[in-house]
């Protein structure tokens, strides 16, 4: 491909993206394809001779688009938002065009230094403590990781290193491998599955603790678990707390947890993958009460902060532990520049991801990011009002852009309604089991979502509920009425 062809292909792609965003509301949110549809449509072998980009773009329309779930449709209310915005798209493009990667500062100074500065901006936007900043006097700092999952793993590995060092320094009679096999970490049953997985990868026991009725992990539960494990001869070393659990966006009580971690010398890692963006708004910073005892903190600008993936921000109160934990024989030279990001992550090199973060922060401004959060939270509050006004339903938990509600009837009816809604493909909403109750889990995801889109989505839920209740007959309706009675309607 030569330069004129590249320019043509690239401008056609930009036009394509602009049209895609403009028409997102009209696209079906869920695809209508069967498993294996694409392997039937595509040739079994790669082409012998190169093809024209126009042919490929035709295939995008013919074969790819029909198989897409439209994550940016205003009727997409499943999972969590995935970041996308015009400045971030251009940032991705320039990152690919420049094509630089970095390990040490020498390998590409701008790649490293922009990340250092932008991560400090971001920490200040969220109101994180001074000690987390790269520019602080102390050993703290932050960098971009691939995902919340790797950040959790890196946090756990740092905690393992710190605990082993501590015990050795205290003159423990145990050998390192004997310490390792006794290590135990804690998280809640509501935390993301990646936390349990990180424990498996790190080869440590991970206890999944019960939460309070709000889905929050509390101090006394943690204290009990630590006491039992210590009595059994195990070595507690780490807690992974969630600020914004994946199911209900519940907040663990990091004030209570942090005090215990400080007393017991446990590493405290915070997973705020989705909800972290909300801390850009001062009115949500009360949730960070207790951050003074946090060792590492992570959130995903690639979820709610309009940055395309991957872009997961992670800070350490003290980078020394992760750097020591990840140091190899090849890396024992005196560094020319700190922090040394390559010793704080799992991959060897890093891409120029700071570029898209820089673009988003500069083009939206802090004010634009705050407006985005408040607008989406208000849309979620609006949905909550609609649910509250319907006597058949009850809101169970609602936090930030997430609203979890239930039908006042057996789970089997909720199941039937959700199946029907999914089959109709007008909106995408997911079930969530919370404290053994089946809930509708509704998330305001797309940055394109308007109030009238919420009306349409609610209308779909409401009318399909009526349809299912009609089909399932009087017996269930009576049941619903009786339960509504108990709600005082
Ligand atoms: C989405 C989510 C994750 C996983 O994020 P990745 O960046 O895909 O690893 C982890 N924790 C929480 C709380 C999440 O919501």
**333 or 487: whose pLDDT is higher?**
333
- So what's the pLDDT on residue 336? 77
CATH topology of domain 100-352: 3.40.640
Would the pLDDT of 473 be above 70?
Answer: no
Q: Are 70 and 22 in contact (CB under 8 A)?
A: no
Query: Is cis: bond before 339, omega within 30 of 0?
Result: yes
Is there an atom of ligand 1 within 6 Å of 271 CB?
A: yes
Using one digit for the tens of pLDDT, what is the confidence trace for 97-130?
Answer: 999 999 889 999 999 999 999 999 999 999 999 9
Q: Is the CB of 253 under 6 A from ligand 1?
A: no
Q: What pLDDT digit, counting tens, does each position of 133-176 carry?
A: 999 989 999 999 999 999 999 999 999 999 999 999 999 999 99
Residue 260 C-alpha from the chain's centroid = 26
Any atom of ligand 1 within 6 Å of the Cβ of 274: yes
CATH: 1.10.1060.10, 3.40.640.10, 1.10.10.10, 1.20.1340.10. Which one for 3-81? 1.20.1340.10
Of all protein residues, the one whose alpha carbon is nearest to atom 2 of ligand 1 is 273
The minimum-distance atom of ligand 1 relative to the CA of 150 is: 9
Q: Answer whether 80 contacts ligand 1 (Cβ < 6 A).
A: yes
**In the numeric block, which tokens belong to residue 146?**
């691939």
Span 306-329, average pLDDT: 93
Distance between Cα 152 and ligand 1 center (Å): 9
> Tokens 């960070």 map to which residue?
288
- Residue 387 in tokens: 């649910």
437 phi and psi angles, rounded to 5 deg: -120, 140
DSSP string spanning 123-192? HHHHT--GGG-TTSSSS-EEEEES-HHHHHHHHHHHHHHHHHHHHHHTT-SS-HHHHHTTEEEEEETTS-
Out of 56-70, 222-236, 455-469, 474-488, least confident range: 474-488
pLDDT at 489 over 50: no
Is the CB of 312 within 6 Å of ligand 1? Answer: yes
pLDDT at 475: 60
CA angle 304, 256, 200 (to 5 degrees): 65
- Per the CB < 8 A criterion, the answer to whether 343 and 322 are in contact is yes
| Burial of 481: CB neighbours in 10 Å, binned 0-12, 13-18, 19+ | middle
Closest Cα partner for 351 from 81, 27, 97, 37? Answer: 97
Domain residue extents for the chain: 3-81, 100-352
Q: How far apart are CA 149 and CA 146, in angstroms?
A: 8
The model's pTM: 0.95
Chain segment 41-55, per-residue pLDDT in tens: 999 999 999 999 999
Is any atom of ligand 1 closer than 6 Å to the C-beta of 198?
A: no
């Amino acid at each position: 491909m030569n330069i004129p062809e590249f320019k043509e292909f690239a401008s056609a792609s930009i036009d394509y993206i602009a049209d895609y965003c403009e028409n997102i509301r009209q696209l079906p949110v869920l695809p209508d394809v069967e498993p294996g549809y694409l392997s039937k449509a595509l040739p079994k072998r790669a082409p012998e001779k190169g093809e024209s980009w126009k042919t490929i773009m035709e295939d995008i329309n013919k074969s790819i688009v029909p198989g897409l779930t439209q994550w940016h449709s205003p009727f997409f209310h499943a999972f969590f938002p995935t970041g996308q915005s015009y400045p971030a798209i251009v940032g991705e493009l320039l990152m690919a065009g420049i094509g630089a990667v970095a390990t040490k500062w020498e390998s590409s100074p701008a790649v490293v230094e922009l990340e250092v500065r932008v991560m400090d901006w971001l920490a200040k936007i969220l109101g994180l403590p001074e000690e987390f900043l790269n520019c602080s006097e102390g050993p703290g700092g932050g960098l971009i990781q691939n995902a919340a999952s790797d950040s959790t793993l890196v946090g756990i590995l740092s905690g393992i290193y710190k605990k082993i060092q501590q015990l050795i320094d205290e003159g423990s009679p145990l050998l390192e491998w004997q310490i390792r096999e006794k290590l135990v970490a804690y998280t809640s049953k509501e935390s993301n599955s990646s936390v349990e997985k990180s424990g498996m990868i790190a080869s440590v026991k991970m206890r999944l603790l019960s939460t309070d009725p709000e889905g929050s992990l509390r101090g006394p539960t943690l204290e009990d678990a630590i006491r039992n494990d210590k009595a059994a001869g195990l070595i507690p070393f780490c807690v992974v707390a969630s600020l914004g659990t994946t199911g209900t966006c519940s907040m663990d009580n990091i004030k209570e947890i942090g005090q215990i971690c400080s007393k017991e010398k446990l590493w405290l890692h915070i997973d705020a993958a989705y909800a972290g963006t909300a801390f850009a708004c001062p009115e949500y910073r009360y949730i960070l009460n207790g951050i003074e005892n946090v060792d590492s903190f992570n959130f995903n600008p690639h979820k709610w902060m309009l940055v395309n993936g991957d872009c997961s921000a992670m800070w350490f109160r003290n980078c020394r532990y992760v750097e020591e934990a990840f140091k190899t024989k090849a890396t024992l030279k005196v560094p020319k520049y700190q922090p040394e990001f390559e010793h704080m992550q799992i991959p060897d090199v890093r891409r120029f991801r700071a570029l898209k973060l820089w673009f988003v922060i500069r083009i939206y401004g802090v004010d634009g990011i705050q407006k985005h959060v408040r607008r989406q939270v208000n849309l979620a509050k609006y949905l909550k009002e609609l649910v509250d006004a319907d006597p058949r339903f009850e809101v169970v938990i609602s936090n930030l852009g997430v609203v979890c509600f239930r039908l006042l009837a057996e789970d089997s009816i909720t199941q039937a309604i959700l199946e029907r809604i999914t089959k109709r493909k007008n909106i995408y909403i997911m079930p969530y089991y919370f404290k053994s109750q089946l809930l509708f889990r509704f998330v305001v995801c797309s940055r394109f979502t308007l109030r009238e889109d919420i009306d349409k989505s609610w209308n779909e839920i409401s009318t399909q509920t009526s349809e299912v209740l009609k089909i399932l007959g009087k017996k269930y309706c009576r049941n619903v009425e009786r339960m509504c009675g108990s709600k005082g309607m």
